Amino acid sequence: AQRVTQPEKLLSVFKGAPVELKCNYSYSGSPELFWYVQYSRQRLQLLLRHISRESIKGFTADLNKGETSFHLKKPFAQEEDSAMYYCALSSNEKLTFGTGTRLTIIP
Protein backbone atom coordinates (compact mmCIF):
# COMPACT_ATOMS: atom_id res chain seq x y z
CA ALA A 1 0.00 0.00 0.00
CA GLN A 2 1.14 3.54 -0.65
CA ARG A 3 2.29 5.79 2.15
CA VAL A 4 3.42 9.41 2.41
CA THR A 5 5.55 10.59 5.30
CA GLN A 6 6.16 14.18 6.31
CA PRO A 7 8.49 13.96 9.29
CA GLU A 8 8.12 17.56 10.48
CA LYS A 9 4.80 18.67 11.94
CA LEU A 10 6.10 22.18 12.54
CA LEU A 11 8.81 24.20 10.83
CA SER A 12 9.82 27.78 11.58
CA VAL A 13 12.10 29.70 9.26
CA PHE A 14 13.26 33.29 9.23
CA LYS A 15 12.17 35.51 6.37
CA GLY A 16 14.75 35.40 3.60
CA ALA A 17 16.17 32.04 4.71
CA PRO A 18 15.89 28.88 2.59
CA VAL A 19 12.99 26.51 3.18
CA GLU A 20 12.87 22.76 2.76
CA LEU A 21 9.82 20.69 3.62
CA LYS A 22 10.50 16.99 3.56
CA CYS A 23 8.33 14.32 1.98
CA ASN A 24 9.08 10.63 1.58
CA TYR A 25 6.83 8.08 -0.04
CA SER A 26 6.46 4.36 -0.47
CA TYR A 27 4.76 3.07 -3.60
CA SER A 28 5.39 0.06 -5.78
CA GLY A 29 4.51 1.69 -9.09
CA SER A 30 5.54 4.87 -10.85
CA PRO A 31 4.42 7.66 -8.53
CA GLU A 32 2.68 10.89 -9.34
CA LEU A 33 3.34 13.36 -6.55
CA PHE A 34 1.87 16.69 -5.54
CA TRP A 35 2.26 19.42 -2.98
CA TYR A 36 -0.94 20.99 -1.70
CA VAL A 37 -1.06 24.12 0.45
CA GLN A 38 -3.69 25.49 2.80
CA TYR A 39 -3.39 29.14 3.81
CA SER A 40 -5.20 30.39 6.88
CA ARG A 41 -8.99 30.31 6.41
CA GLN A 42 -8.67 29.08 2.82
CA ARG A 43 -9.33 25.78 1.14
CA LEU A 44 -6.75 23.22 0.19
CA GLN A 45 -5.19 24.08 -3.16
CA LEU A 46 -2.61 22.56 -5.45
CA LEU A 47 0.83 24.16 -5.22
CA LEU A 48 2.71 22.01 -7.71
CA ARG A 49 2.92 18.56 -9.26
CA HIS A 50 6.10 16.76 -10.19
CA ILE A 51 5.23 16.05 -13.81
CA SER A 52 4.87 19.73 -14.66
CA ARG A 53 8.31 20.58 -13.26
CA GLU A 54 7.17 24.16 -12.71
CA SER A 55 8.23 26.66 -10.10
CA ILE A 56 5.18 28.07 -8.34
CA LYS A 57 5.54 31.05 -5.98
CA GLY A 58 9.26 30.33 -5.99
CA PHE A 59 8.79 26.74 -4.79
CA THR A 60 10.25 23.72 -6.56
CA ALA A 61 10.19 20.01 -5.83
CA ASP A 62 12.23 17.28 -7.46
CA LEU A 63 11.19 13.66 -7.49
CA ASN A 64 14.08 11.47 -6.34
CA LYS A 65 13.10 7.87 -7.03
CA GLY A 66 16.29 6.50 -5.50
CA GLU A 67 15.57 8.13 -2.17
CA THR A 68 11.76 7.98 -2.65
CA SER A 69 11.56 11.65 -1.78
CA PHE A 70 9.77 14.73 -3.09
CA HIS A 71 11.04 17.56 -0.92
CA LEU A 72 9.65 21.07 -1.38
CA LYS A 73 12.19 23.88 -1.53
CA LYS A 74 12.32 27.63 -1.76
CA PRO A 75 15.55 29.63 -1.65
CA PHE A 76 14.21 32.71 0.15
CA ALA A 77 11.19 32.43 2.43
CA GLN A 78 8.52 35.13 2.44
CA GLU A 79 6.00 35.89 5.17
CA GLU A 80 3.11 34.93 2.89
CA ASP A 81 4.53 31.39 2.70
CA SER A 82 3.24 30.69 6.21
CA ALA A 83 0.70 27.90 5.74
CA MET A 84 0.01 24.19 6.09
CA TYR A 85 1.70 22.08 3.42
CA TYR A 86 0.67 18.56 2.44
CA CYS A 87 2.54 16.15 0.23
CA ALA A 88 0.29 13.74 -1.68
CA LEU A 89 0.68 10.71 -3.91
CA SER A 90 -1.81 9.82 -6.62
CA SER A 91 -2.64 6.19 -7.33
CA ASN A 92 -5.74 4.58 -8.83
CA GLU A 93 -7.41 7.99 -9.14
CA LYS A 94 -7.20 8.87 -5.44
CA LEU A 95 -4.79 10.92 -3.36
CA THR A 96 -2.90 9.67 -0.32
CA PHE A 97 -1.79 12.57 1.85
CA GLY A 98 0.91 12.98 4.43
CA THR A 99 0.10 14.43 7.82
CA GLY A 100 1.25 17.88 6.79
CA THR A 101 3.85 20.41 7.91
CA ARG A 102 2.88 23.77 9.36
CA LEU A 103 5.37 26.31 8.07
CA THR A 104 5.77 29.57 9.96
CA ILE A 105 7.90 32.36 8.55
CA ILE A 106 9.39 34.55 11.24
CA PRO A 107 9.62 38.22 10.20
Partner 1 sequence: DTGVSQDPRHKITKRGQNVTFRCDPISEHNRLYWYRQTLGQGPEFLTYFQNEAQLEKSRLLSDRFSAERPKGSFSTLEIQRTEQGDSAMYLCASSFRDWNEQFFGPGTRLTVL
At 81 the three-state DSSP class reads helix
Q: Taking CB under 8 A as the rule, does residue 47 contact partner 1?
A: no
Q: Taking CB under 8 A as the rule, does residue 1 contact partner 1?
A: no
In the 3-class helix/strand/coil scheme, how is 17-71 assigned residue by residue?
CCEEECCEEECCCCCEEEEEEECCCCCCEEEEECCCCCCECCEEECCECCCCECC
Q: Taking CB under 8 A as the rule, does residue 70 contact partner 1?
A: no
Q: Taking CB under 8 A as the rule, does residue 100 contact partner 1?
A: yes
The interface region with partner 1, picked from 21-29, 54-62, 65-73, 86-94 by CB under 8 A, is 86-94
Instruction: Give residues in contact with partner 1 (CB under 8 A).
Output: 4, 9, 32, 34, 43-46, 49, 86, 88, 90, 92-100
